[in-house]
Amino acid sequence: MNKSVFSGKNSVLDYLNPDKNEYIPLVEIPRVLNPFYNDKVRIYTKLMNTLPLTNVKSLPALNMLFSSKDLGELDQVNTLIENSSGNTVLSLAVIGKLLGIDHTKAIVSNEVSRGKLNLLRLFGVEVIVNKEAICPDPKDKTSGIYKSKILASKHKDWFNPGQYTNENNPKAHEKWTGPQIWDQTEGEISIFCAGVGTTGTIQGTSKFLKSKSNSITTVGVSRIPNNPVPGVRTKNLLEEIPFIWKQYVDELVEIGTKESFKSSLDLCRFGLVVGPSSGFAFEGLLKFLKKQNNLDKFRNKNGEIIAVFISCDSPIPYVDEYFEYLGESEFPKIENEYLLPKNSKSEISTFNTDSKYEISVRKAYNMIFKSNPNIVWSQVLSDKLVEINKNIKILDIRKKNDFLHYHIPGSLNIEYEDLEDNISKYVDILKSNKIIVVCNYGISSQSASKMLRDNNIESYSVSGGMSEWSRDDLPRWKPDICNLYQ
């Protein structure tokens, strides 16, 4: 029996190396979470959160660095540089250190949260902030992906692994993830599903599985525009990926923020401690299964269907995001909360809503605009003035930067804190209108609209916020590349 003891001068590198370890666990999800259980669909998840570095990207990081080391490319290197704000660069920093490379620098988007930056710093990553969208275009010369490459070429002792073009990224999954899943399912897998970011996971795993059986169906999951999920891209952002990946993905389905985070909560509470992009892949698989008229083509000789999705990492780095995107209703109440020090964030989120003033994005749309969304979209895209109903004001309480990215045509931006601090001034300005308040995910808009109602202004909160508005593809201004496609 392998007792999982690692010793000697390479003890930790051995501990990180899948070749020297037991398989990464493949666990069937609990029946209560599987709506297809009675159809004999057995859903398993490959738990990349159980890897020593707790994430899927540690496999490409290992493979990229081990291969470069074998080629002698790291002999003079003292600094790694990569465009990544999460798992890849964190993994590179640790593996780099173990290989004698003292510094790892991350070029990150200025839109990344402080919490995420501090997580990188906790692992010793040196952060360089770059003004760019979170999922940049690799070919864009202002992108961190491009800048990392250029910076590495200018310093003889720097090295850029380059996860968007480095074949050792997908090859890690061709070498480890695919063969393990094939073996663990005893060749019975018929559906494989993974979220897509750099496309490394889906490419490498699918390539191996399809080489074993061409009847395996592979499902990629992309995110709905303006619906953040860590590590994965929208369909449009995937078009920018230099890898040739489409041949490895039989079907691409889209999933949004809320269902990803909610689904990962369910998995966590049943003992599978996985993060939002795992809920995302799980929901993508369920969406794919629901779309099938007949599941029989996927059945094995026992009449079962074996489906596997990848769980990429753990929920721990994203704790604040769960509360931001899902609101308080998904979480147990805190008793005696009044004893805690006051903090305006918790005041926003613990507020009790009045459903009468909660409106869907469609209802909000119909209150705001006279014409249908196609007409308004065409006015927006041709830079024409868009008419909104006279007695309505749309109040967007997001941060100015978010507002500048995209917003509902005709809306007014007053940040939440500004509204709260200067409520009497704004009440004077807004008082003769019906106010529709919108935020990112429909949480703080509830409290802002209550604040206005307390000041005798008829005010509604848009349920699900701009994220839901984008999911329905309702008109957004200014829809330039970043805004529309994020």
Binding site for ligand PLP (CB under 6 A): 56-57, 87, 195-201, 230-232, 277, 281, 312-313
Cβ distance 392 to 433 under 8 Å? yes
Cβ distance 207 to 178 under 8 Å? yes
Please work out, in degrees rounded to the nearest 5, the angle formed at the alpha carbon of residue 396 by the alpha carbons of 225 and 326.
55
In this complex, which beta carbon is closest to ligand PLP, that of residue 195 or of residue 442? 195
Minimum gap (Å) between residue 170 Cβ and ligand PLP: 8
Minimum gap (Å) between residue 312 Cβ and ligand PLP: 3
Q: Which helix (H) or strand (E) holds 145?
A: helix 144-154
Quote the CA–CA distance of 226 and 228 in Å, as a whole number: 6
CA distances from 29 to 130, 148, 229, 393 (A): 40, 40, 21, 47
Minimum gap (Å) between residue 324 Cβ and ligand PLP: 17
Minimum gap (Å) between residue 26 Cβ and ligand PLP: 17
In this complex, which beta carbon is closest to ligand PLP, that of residue 160 or of residue 447? 160
Minimum gap (Å) between residue 16 Cβ and ligand PLP: 17
Cβ distance 472 to 361 under 8 Å? yes
Q: List the structure tokens of 253.
A: 């389905």
Long-range CB contacts (< 8 A, 24+ apart) of 325-328?
A: 325/228, 325/257, 325/258, 325/261, 325/441, 325/467, 326/258, 326/261, 326/262, 326/265, 327/441, 327/442, 327/443
In this complex, which beta carbon is closest to ligand PLP, that of residue 16 or of residue 237? 237
Minimum gap (Å) between residue 179 Cβ and ligand PLP: 17
In this complex, which beta carbon is closest to ligand PLP, that of residue 273 or of residue 443? 273
DSSP 128: E
In this complex, which beta carbon is closest to ligand PLP, that of residue 82 or of residue 396? 82
Residue 366 CA to chain centroid, in angstroms? 30
In this complex, which beta carbon is closest to ligand PLP, that of residue 230 or of residue 327? 230
In this complex, which beta carbon is closest to ligand PLP, that of residue 91 or of residue 104? 91
Q: List the structure tokens of 395.
A: 């109040």
Helix, strand, coil % (nearest 5) of the chain? 45, 15, 40
Quote the CA–CA distance of 264 and 262 in Å, as a whole number: 5
Minimum gap (Å) between residue 281 Cβ and ligand PLP: 6
Minimum gap (Å) between residue 171 Cβ and ligand PLP: 12
In this complex, which beta carbon is closest to ligand PLP, that of residue 229 or of residue 457? 229
> Greatest CA separation found in the chain?
76
Q: For the sheet with 217-223, list strands across it.
A: 26-28, 41-47, 305-311, 189-195, 217-223, 251-255
Q: List the structure tokens of 74.
A: 């790291």
Minimum gap (Å) between residue 183 Cβ and ligand PLP: 21
In this complex, which beta carbon is closest to ligand PLP, that of residue 96 or of residue 230? 230
In this complex, which beta carbon is closest to ligand PLP, that of residue 120 or of residue 281? 281
Minimum gap (Å) between residue 135 Cβ and ligand PLP: 11
Question: Exposed/middle/buried for 467, CB within 10 Å: 0-12, 13-18, 19+?
Answer: buried
